[in-house]
C-alpha cells in the first residue's frame, strides 16, 4: 500500500473533478491524504481519503481574470505550504498528485524528492496550443506583474513553465477530443476524461414523472422566468423570486443526480460541469464568467455540443431549450462525445497513471 498525497486547491472546480480518481486509488488499497479546507472535508472523507485540514485564503468566488486567479493561487500556496510541509515531511508520501493551481503540492514533492504527477482541470498546453496565449491578454511587464512573477520564482524556485514541466506525467480530466490540437500531445499527457464518483454529501434527487428537465446553475432568475408556463421542469442553484410551480430551487444542487435525468444544462462552463454534462449526454447553454470558461464554451460550440452566450434572456432560454432538445444533429454529436469520454477511461485510467509512476 502506497501513501499518495493529492493536493487540490479548495474550490469546487478543482476538488469535485478529482474525487473519482481519489476514490479509485483508495479502492485499490492505497492510503490517500488530501489537504483541503473544512468546506470539502466531507467530500474527501466520503471517498475514503484522509482530509488534511488547513486554513485557506481563497475567497468565496474566483475573479473573471485568470491572471488575477493566479495571484490568488500564489497567495493560497504561500499560506498553505508552512501549514502542510512538516505534516508531509513527518508522514512522507510515496507520490504527490497536484492540480495545476495547487502549487504547494509541487513544492512539497520537490523538497521531499518524491515523484509527482500533475492534474489538469483546464485545457492543457504544449508547443502547438497554449492556454495562456488563448485566454490571457498580452501584459506589459509593469511593476505589479514583475512583482508577481518574482514572487512566483521565489516560491517555486524556478519559472512557472519549468516548474510545471517538472511533473513526470499530466492527467487531463477531459478527453483528448475536447482538447484543441489534442492529436499533438505525446504520452506524457494522459487524457483520462472526467473522474466521477457518487456524491452522497450532496444528497439525492428524483425527477418529475412527466416533464423534461433543465438544470441551471447560472442566470437562475432569468431561467426561472423563462420556465414559467413552459412544458419543462427547471432545477436551479440559488434563490429565485416568485418561482413558478415547475421551478425547483436549491442552495446546493446535487448536480450529478440531476444531470442523470437532464435534457439541457445552463452553466458557466467550468471544465468540471462541462464534463459532467457530457458524461451524461446533456447539451449545454454556456454563459461564462471567467476567461477559461469562455474558452470551454467556445469549444462546446465548435464541437456542436451546445451554444455559447454572453448573457441569457427569457426568450433566448426558451428558444434554445427547444432547439437543444429537438436538434438531432446536436444530440448525435453529444452522444459521440459521451462515447469518447467512456473510452477515455476516467478514474481507472487516472489511477493507472499514478500507479505506473509509483512503480518506476
Tell me the residue range of the domain where 149 lies.
Answer: 3-193+345-359
Q: What's the pLDDT tens digit per position in 104-131?
A: 999 999 999 999 999 999 999 999 998 8
Decide: 296 and 269 in contact? Cβ < 8 Å: yes
Q: Report DSSP letters for 80-107, one per residue.
A: HHHHHHHHHHHS--SEEEEETT-HHHHH
Per-residue confidence (pLDDT) for residue 162, from 0 to 100: 86
Say what percent of the chain tops pLDDT 90. 83
Per-residue confidence (pLDDT) for residue 138, from 0 to 100: 61
Name the pLDDT band for 178 (thresholds 50, 70, 90): very high
Residues 117 and 209 in one domain: no
What kind and span of H or E run contains 308? Answer: strand 306-308
Residues 149 and 280 in one domain: no
Q: What is the residue-averaged pLDDT of the chain? A: 94
Residues 20 and 105 in one domain: yes
Among 159-163, 169-173, 208-212, 235-239, the range with the most confident prediction by mean pLDDT is 169-173
Name the pLDDT band for 147 (thresholds 50, 70, 90): confident
Per-residue confidence (pLDDT) for residue 62, from 0 to 100: 85
Residues 19 and 131 in one domain: yes
Residues 324 and 353 in one domain: no
pLDDT at 145 over 80: no
Residues 173 and 57 in one domain: yes
Per-residue confidence (pLDDT) for residue 166, from 0 to 100: 84
Residues 76 and 9 in one domain: yes
Residues 49 and 182 in one domain: yes
pLDDT at 189 over 90: yes
Residues 187 and 266 in one domain: no
Say what percent of the chain tops pLDDT 70. 98
Task: Output the pTM of the full model.
Answer: 0.95
Q: For the chain, what is the domain count? A: 2
Name the pLDDT band for 34 (thresholds 50, 70, 90): very high
Residue 81 phi/psi, 5° resolution? -55, -50
Complete edge-to-edge strand list for the sheet that includes strand 50-53: 50-53, 31-36, 3-7, 95-99, 116-120, 169-172, 189-191
Per-residue confidence (pLDDT) for residue 172, from 0 to 100: 98
pLDDT at 52 over 90: yes
Residues 181 and 221 in one domain: no
Per-residue confidence (pLDDT) for residue 141, from 0 to 100: 62
CATH code of the domain in which 14 resides: 3.40.50.2000
pLDDT at 140 over 90: no
pLDDT at 213 over 70: yes
Side-chain half-sphere exposure of 14, counting CA atoms within 13 A? 26
Q: How far apart are CA 42 and CA 54, in angstroms?
A: 14
Per-residue confidence (pLDDT) for residue 63, from 0 to 100: 87
pLDDT at 146 over 70: yes
Per-residue confidence (pLDDT) for residue 139, from 0 to 100: 58
Q: Which of 191, 188, 194 is nearest to 356 (CA)?
A: 188
Amino acid at each position: 500500500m502506497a501513501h499518495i498525497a493529492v493536493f487540490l486547491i479548495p474550490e469546487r472546480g478543482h476538488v469535485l473533478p478529482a474525487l473519482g480518481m481519489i476514490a479509485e486509488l483508495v479502492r485499490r488499497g492505497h492510503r490517500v491524504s488530501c489537504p483541503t479546507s473544512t468546506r470539502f472535508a466531507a467530500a474527501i472523507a466520503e471517498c475514503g481519503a484522509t482530509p488534511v485540514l488547513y486554513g485557506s485564503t481563497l475567497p468565496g468566488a474566483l475573479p473573471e481574470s485568470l491572471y488575477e486567479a493566479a495571484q490568488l493561487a500564489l497567495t493560497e500556496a504561500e499560506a498553505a505550504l508552512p501549514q502542510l510541509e512538516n505534516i508531509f515531511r513527518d508522514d512522507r508520501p510515496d507520490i504527490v498528485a497536484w492540480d495545476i493551481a495547487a502549487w504547494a503540492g509541487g513544492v512539497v514533492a520537490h523538497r521531499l524528492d518524491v515523484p509527482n504527477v500533475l492534474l489538469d482541470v483546464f485545457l492543457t498546453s504544449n508547443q502547438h496550443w497554449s492556454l495562456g496565449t488563448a485566454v490571457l491578454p498580452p501584459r506589459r511587464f509593469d511593476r505589479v506583474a514583475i512583482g508577481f512573477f518574482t514572487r512566483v520564482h521565489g516560491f517555486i524556485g524556478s519559472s512557472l513553465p519549468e516548474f510545471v514541466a517538472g511533473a513526470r506525467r499530466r492527467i487531463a480530466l477531459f478527453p483528448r477530443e475536447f482538447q484543441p490540437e489534442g492529436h499533438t500531445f505525446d504520452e506524457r499527457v494522459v487524457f483520462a476524461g472526467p473522474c466521477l464518483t457518487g456524491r452522497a454529501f450532496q444528497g439525492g434527487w428524483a425527477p418529475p414523472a412527466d416533464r423534461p428537465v433543465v438544470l441551471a446553475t447560472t442566470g437562475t432568475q432569468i431561467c426561472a422566468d423563462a420556465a414559467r408556463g413552459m412544458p419543462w421542469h427547471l432545477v436551479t442553484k440559488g434563490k429565485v423570486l416568485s418561482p413558478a410551480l415547475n421551478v425547483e430551487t436549491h442552495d446546493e444542487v446535487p448536480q450529478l443526480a440531476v444531470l442523470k435525468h437532464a435534457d439541457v444544462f445552463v452553466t458557466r462552463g467550468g471544465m468540471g460541469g462541462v464534463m459532467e454534462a457530457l458524461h451524461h449526454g446533456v447539451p449545454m447553454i454556456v454563459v461564462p464568467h471567467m476567461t477559461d470558461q469562455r474558452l470551454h464554451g467556445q469549444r462546446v460550440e465548435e464541437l456542436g455540443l451546445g451554444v455559447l452566450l454572453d448573457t441569457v434572456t427569457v426568450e433566448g432560454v426558451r428558444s434554445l431549450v427547444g432547439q437543444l432538445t429537438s436538434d438531432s444533429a446536436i444530440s448525435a454529436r453529444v452522444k459521440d462525445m459521451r462515447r469518447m469520454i467512456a473510452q477515455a477511461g476516467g478514474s481507472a485510467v487516472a489511477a493507472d497513471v499514478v500507479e505506473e509512476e509509483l512503480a518506476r
